[in-house]
Structure 1
Amino acid sequence: MQRELTLEFVRVTEAAALAAAPWMGKGQEKMADKAAVDAMRAVFDTISISGTVVIGEGEKDEAPRLYIGEKIGAKNSFNEVDIAVDPLEGTTLVARGLPNALAVVAVAEKGSFLKAPDTYMEKIAVGPEAKDKINLDAPVEDNLRAVADSLNKSVKDLTVIILDRPRHDELISEIRKVGSRIKLISDGDVAAGIATARKGSGVDVMIGIGGATEGVLTAAALKCLGGEIQARLKCRNKDDEEKAAKFGIKDLDRLYCTDDLAKGDDIMLAITGVTDGELLKGVRYSWNNAETHSLVTRSKTGTVRFIRTEHIITNKPPYFPKNIFNLDYARE
């Protein structure tokens, strides 16, 4: 892929973030998500790619835009790529005005991303220093001690991030017995996984059961940032098993490593903050201007860029969501 495309993908996540941010704290998850999806989809069609959505908003009958299998991008392009998106990672976070909501896009050569069903996935993720030191099948204590040794820390100084769910009660109890610190989050395990690979985030390990599609996005991010994720599908019922079979997944007990979820040497990742978080600031407003904070990286080089962009909303092109400040566009 052309490296210049990395900045084009930032435009995509910026548009989604700008469209979703006005819904912060308004309790309207679906409207925030719709705004992000519509904006992201519109900007994709201005980019010189021939893309196929492999991780998106669901199947065609479940989502009008950015559904799995949808073809997006400018016409007559020879840049054939697979695209994994989460236009609004953390819809509940935005609706409740909570931190760490993101707009996320990962792009790679065709066949690079696991086509994951909409089910659960058990995961453990770490940053570069602890890469190759974890094992999803090992006891929690063994993993935490291995990570602590890699970081030259006491296990009691580790911070483990985990979704605050009843299904994690036993896991949380085990971590507490080891003595590591725990950070519970209500949503947003993509942001949590990425945080493990960023110095200064205060997060050392992400562990627990979250979304399978989020697992693929996390793998794409960690492939670029040098970290590692291990994961396994956790089907809840027969319906989930049928979904997995539909995606060609036969071995439900298979352990997936980073390269199984996001393979290839040229993955591009763009992330823009919607609400404030440890990784990125959220959208800021002043009069008719808005400011976004984004991260863009590429696995081929490992370069990480943080981009601060000032947007004059009234100068945005026609495809951009209109009346972004008064929200009227979302009610039309």
Structure 2
Amino acid sequence: DDGQFLNAPDTYMQKIAVGPEARGMIDLRESPTWNLTRIAKAKGKKVQDCTAVILDRDRHTELIAEVRQAGARIRLIGDGDVSGAVMTANPDSGIDVLFGTGGAPEGVIAAAALKCVGGELQGRLRFRNDQERARAVKMGVKAEDTVYGTDDLARGDVMFAATGVTKGYLLDGVRFFGDGAKTESIVMRSKSGTVRVINATHHFNTKPKYSWATGLEP
């Protein structure tokens, strides 16, 4: 339905995300150490056996130091905190929690994805300047320190779909061959909890010829 996603301004969002096992155990207002202790307890493991995924950015220097001080392992990623958040819900990824600050619109997308698989994301807007703050007020943001939960960011029955363009942590990238390409996509729905991974083969000589610029046939 229209209006079910938070109209997030183009600014930063501080985030914490976990999979189903640790849902209800996190609080963005508390320290990473506090959250790691709760996550470890929920998952029946030691903090030293937990792994946090964090964007490799200078702004995360103190965060990385605290997580290491707490004893947890860290996987630094160059980009894509949406996939980093989704990895927390995949037992095969070895990721227990996402910490850090990234784009606010990406936080909404990540919340939608985690809602489909029973995970949790909490976010808090972080403005870089007064212009971003003023624009957010015009968009309806009333309090800068508001902590948004998963259902605040993505309400109702949610579907999430993504296709890999370049190879990433969640999906493989487009692989070209002869007269076509192969793609990997994921589709999830919160109502059913269904997760579908689609590996598709596309033959360019039998598909309509679309313009890369307009998406329409020339």
**TM bracket, shorter-chain basis:** over 0.9
**Any unmatched runs of 5+ in structure 1?**
1-108, 323-328
For 2:122, the equivalent position in structure 1 comes to: 230
For 2:148, the equivalent position in structure 1 comes to: 256
For 2:67, the equivalent position in structure 1 comes to: 175
**Any unmatched runs of 5+ in structure 2?**
none
Does structure 2 retain, via aligned residues, the 8 Å contact 1:190–1:214? Answer: yes
For 1:187, the equivalent position in structure 2 comes to: 79
Does structure 1 retain, via aligned residues, the 8 Å contact 2:124–2:145? Answer: yes
Q: Quick one: which amino acid aligns to residue 99 of structure 2? A: I
For 1:87, the equivalent position in structure 2 comes to: none
Quote the offset at 1:274 in angstroms.
1.7
Q: Quick one: which amino acid aligns to residue 25 of structure 2? A: K
- The within-5 A match list for 1:111-126 is 111-126=3-18
What per-residue deviation string (whole Å, max 9, x for no partner) do you get for residues 264-302 of structure 1?
1x1111111122233222111221121111110111111
Q: Quick one: which amino acid aligns to residue 305 of structure 1? A: R
For 2:168, the equivalent position in structure 1 comes to: 277
Partner of 2:61: helix, strand, or coil? helix
- The within-5 A match list for 1:63-212 is 109-212=1-104
TM-score by length of 2: 0.94
For 1:82, the equivalent position in structure 2 comes to: none
- The within-5 A match list for 1:31-46 is none
Partner of 1:200: helix, strand, or coil? helix
Change (3 A) 1:243 1:159: same
Q: Quick one: which amino acid aligns to residue 175 of structure 2? A: R
Structure 1 runs of 4+ aligned residues shifted over 3 Å read 318-322
Partner of 1:236: helix, strand, or coil? coil
- Candidates 178, 192, 197, aligned match of 1:306: 197
For 1:70, the equivalent position in structure 2 comes to: none
What per-residue deviation string (whole Å, max 9, x for no partner) do you get for residues 142-181 of structure 1?
1011111122222111110111111111111100101111
- Candidates 203, 212, 216, aligned match of 1:321: 212
Quote the offset at 1:188 in angstroms.
0.9
- Candidates 292, 296, 313, aligned match of 2:187: 296
Does structure 1 retain, via aligned residues, the 8 Å contact 2:84–2:169? Answer: no
For 1:98, the equivalent position in structure 2 comes to: none
Distance between the aligned counterparts of 2:127 and 2:169, measured in 1? 31
Does structure 2 retain, via aligned residues, the 8 Å contact 1:163–1:186? Answer: yes
What per-residue deviation string (whole Å, max 9, x for no partner) do you get for residues 226-281 of structure 1?
100011001111111111012111111111000000011x1111111122233222
Quote the offset at 1:320 in angstroms.
5.6
Distance between the aligned counterparts of 1:306 and 1:161, measured in 2? 23
**% same residue:** 53
Quote the offset at 1:198 in angstroms.
1.6
For 1:219, the equivalent position in structure 2 comes to: 111
For 1:244, the equivalent position in structure 2 comes to: 136
Quote the offset at 1:111 in angstroms.
1.6
